[in-house]
């Protein structure tokens, strides 16, 4: 999840320790109760921060209380492991609201403490890691600690911020100008205005449900506005995987690579179980942290949030000595991991695709997403905000070609079978 600039923190101070808000406090209470997280037994939840799990694996608890939410090379490690050892990290959700997301109103999203965004579990020190090495992070398992996730739409987020529908859209959906009764030339009305102002419209919060520990299959989407149901392919991953930064100081988690090519809020949905990520090491011990668990996300994460949830991620670290890379690299199981979990009957229905073209890649992206929102609203009868949320969690935004100078082409694809 990508959220806000550091300048939006209320008291304009950068802190390296986040304090638990009301929603986060409920998480601490759950974690302290009989080693259970949301009703699921989780070894290592609660206190102390580090325990030993089955088989001697280290479990680092960033769930019972926040550990840090700023990159800082001077933070002490909360755990130390040797190369080849397995460690499990328990992680809070990106906005650190936890159970509060189940009952939060859309307006409630506007009062979230932005200073608490992206609580991270770590840092974990890897013995023997030195500047100039590569840290290899093998992702063994990713699974939710709870049975729900959420998508937030807010003026502070995404391609469009909140949405403001064009009033005439319901009267002339999918009509060309020549087909309108009014002969005045001009574009036909769409669900989303071309001149959508930033920071306008209403906020929105959509929850999805799945099973605790579920790492594949489908999540249930029931539109808050319309009740329209959809099935969302889930491929859990961590939006943030990173090491301590190159330079001294405290840095927000976004944008990625804020101080050297150290990872961060990359939100790469392909980094699922079975992935091997390579990160350059800038400090002794590498000091690795993770957070921002996503159950599902489309390429682009266009609202600024995916299906945000609380997550456990199991990792194994390795080192490549005296080898320098300029930015993170990875070997991933699939370019489109959702195709590994979608049932045949869903795949058989294919995908809907929309396109944006022009000299500005960002405007092209907005056009492609705007057209997909139009299709979802007009053809599938979902609300404007539900359509935008679906684009973020299951719509894939891609640059298709950069050869036709001075114009480029961007498209969005969305599986038609999600509506069953």
Q: What is the mean pLDDT of the chain?
A: 85
Say if strands 86-91 and 58-61 run parallel, antiparallel, or are unpaired: parallel
Question: Distance between CA atoms of 135 and 109, rounded to whole angstroms?
Answer: 37
Residues 6 or more apart in contact with residue 149 via CB below 8 angstroms = 93, 207, 208, 210, 219, 294, 295, 296, 307, 308, 309
Looking at residue 32, what is its pLDDT?
42
Q: Please report how the helices 384-394 and 361-380 are oriented relative to each other, as an axis angle in degrees rounded to 10.
A: 120
Instruction: Decide if 275 contacts 331 (C-beta within 8 A).
Output: yes
**Other CB atoms within 10 Å distance of the CB of residue 82:** 9
For residues 186 and 371, the model is more confident at 371
For a pLDDT cut of 70, what percent of the chain falls above it? 81
Which range of 132-136, 152-156, 175-179, 200-204 scores highest in mean pLDDT? It is 132-136
pTM of the model: 0.86
Residue 396 structure tokens: 């894939």
Give residue-wise pLDDT tens across range 247-283. 999 999 887 777 788 999 999 999 999 999 999 999 9
Give residue-wise pLDDT tens across range 319-333. 999 999 999 999 999
Is the confidence at residue 22, as pLDDT, over 90? no
Q: Which of 357, 375, 374, 353 lies closest to 365, judged by CA?
A: 357
Give me the residue label for tokens 């290592």: 44
Please, is 101 exposed, middle or buried when counting C-beta atoms within 10 Å of its C-beta (0-12, 13-18, 19+)?
buried
């Amino acid at each position: 999840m990508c959220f806000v600039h550091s300048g939006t923190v209320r008291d304009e101070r950068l802190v390296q320790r986040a304090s638990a808000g009301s929603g986060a406090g409920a998480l601490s209470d759950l974690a302290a109760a009989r080693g259970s997280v949301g009703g699921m037994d989780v070894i290592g939840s609660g206190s102390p921060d580090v325990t030993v799990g089955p088989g001697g694996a280290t479990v680092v608890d960033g769930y019972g209380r926040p550990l840090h939410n700023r990159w800082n090379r001077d933070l002490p490690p909360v755990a130390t492991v040797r190369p080849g050892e397995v460690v499990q990290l328990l992680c809070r959700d990106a906005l650190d609201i936890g159970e509060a997301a189940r009952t939060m109103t859309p307006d409630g999203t506007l009062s979230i403490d932005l200073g608490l965004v992206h609580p991270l579990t770590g840092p974990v020190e890897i013995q023997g890691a030195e500047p100039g090495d590569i840290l290899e992070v093998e992702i063994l398992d990713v699974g939710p600690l709870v049975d729900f996730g959420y998508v937030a739409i807010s003026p502070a987020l995404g391609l469009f911020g909140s949405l403001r529908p064009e009033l005439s859209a319901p009267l002339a959906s999918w009509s060309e100008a020549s087909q309108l009764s009014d002969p005045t030339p001009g574009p036909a009305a769409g669900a989303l205005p071309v001149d959508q102002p930033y920071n306008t419209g209403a906020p929105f919060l959509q929850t999805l449900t799945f099973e605790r520990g579920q790492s594949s299959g489908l999540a249930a989407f029931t539109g808050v506005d319309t009740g329209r149901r959809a099935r969302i392919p889930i491929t859990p991953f961590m939006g943030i995987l990173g090491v301590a930064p190159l330079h001294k100081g405290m840095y927000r988690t976004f944008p990625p690579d804020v101080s050297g090519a150290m990872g961060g809020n990359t939100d790469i949905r392909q980094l699922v179980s079975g992935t091997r990520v390579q990160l350059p090491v800038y400090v002794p011990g590498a000091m690795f942290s993770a957070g921002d668990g996503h159950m599902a996300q489309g390429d682009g994460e266009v609202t600024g949030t995916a299906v945000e949830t609380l997550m456990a991620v199991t990792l194994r670290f390795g080192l490549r000595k005296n080898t320098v890379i300029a930015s993170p690299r990875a070997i991933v199981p699939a370019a489109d991991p959702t195709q590994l979990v979608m049932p045949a009957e869903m795949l058989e229905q294919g995908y809907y695709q929309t396109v944006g073209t022009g000299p500005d890649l960002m405007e092209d992206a907005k056009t492609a997403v705007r057209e997909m929102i139009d299709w979802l609203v007009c053809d599938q009868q979902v609300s404007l905000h539900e359509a935008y949320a679906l684009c973020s969690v299951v719509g894939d935004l891609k640059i298709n070609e950069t050869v036709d100078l001075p114009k480029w082409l961007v498209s969005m694809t969305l599986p038609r079978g999600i509506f069953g």
